[in-house]
Amino acid sequence: MATEVVHTIAGLRAALAGQHRTAFVPTMGNLHEGHLSLVREARLRGGPVVASIFVNRLQFLPHEDFDRYPRTLARDVELLESAGCDLVFAPDEAELYPEPQAYKVQPPAALADILEGEFRPGFFTGVCTVVLKLFQCVQPAVAVFGQKDYQQLKVITAMARQFALPTEVVGAPTVRAEDGLALSSRNGYLGAAERTEAVALAAALRQLADGARDPGASLPALEQQAAEVLRARGWAPDYLTLRRRSDLLPPGEAERLGTEPLVALGAARLGATRLIDNLEC
């Protein structure tokens, strides 16, 4: 059965009338295997499976790549159909934001103004606002997000909990290429030499994670060493850091050396392309 494509909220609601176990995968399009793995996970969680394709202006800073972000709707629909998606919601800006979006979701600074939020101010306000609006449009029982965007998953999970949304937020594992690079739509910006070099970010995070429980090393030294490794290879790191999984705050020394679940997170520019990754430890 062919995947249905709708472009309006009214059309979406008509297509989903009477459904109570809808599973949802929000995307910005330019899809890859990582997105398709989310669709397959959604299929296991309920049905029908809905994917949205919408490049959300609210989460881009003025100097970022909103205008050049690839729009590949026809290809994306073919890929989604192959993964078992039933319905694609692909609104334009005028449909989703028919008037200036004056009401916005402001996530707590302790979670949203660190890491990505420090280097991309307002990013998570844009993310939360569009996700809440998409949830209102789709009314899903479950929504699946990738763990590659680790902080985003934490922010959205907390938003759903605090607003008592009737949507279960599920995190799905990061999908990697054979050489270990986390799949990302922005990998397409990399030149051939940059694509070969890009695996160094995951390697630096592995080094940081491997040293996480070392009593002979200090956390600042571990983080600095990981960043210096990338700088020496021509990268411009924003952060490489070890955090508690629970709240993304720095672990105390006893937590770092004990059994506290931790995660190594990193963001760095390689040429003109900014990549992010993480590794639980």
Nearest residue to 53 (alpha-carbon basis) of 29, 76, 85: 29
Which residues are known to be catalytic?
Answer: 35
Nearest-angstrom CA–CA distance, 89 and 20:
17
Strands of 236-244's sheet in order across: 236-244, 262-270, 273-280
| Partners of 265 in beta bridges | 241, 278
Which tokens hold the place of 181? Answer: 């690079």
Nearest-angstrom CA–CA distance, 200 and 222:
16
Exposed (0-12), middle (13-18) or buried (19+): which is 52, by Cβ within 10 Å?
buried
Nearest-angstrom CA–CA distance, 29 and 220:
37
- Residue ranges of E strands in the chain: 4-6, 23-27, 49-53, 87-89, 142-146, 168-172, 236-244, 262-270, 273-280
Neighbours of 120 (CB within 10 A): 18
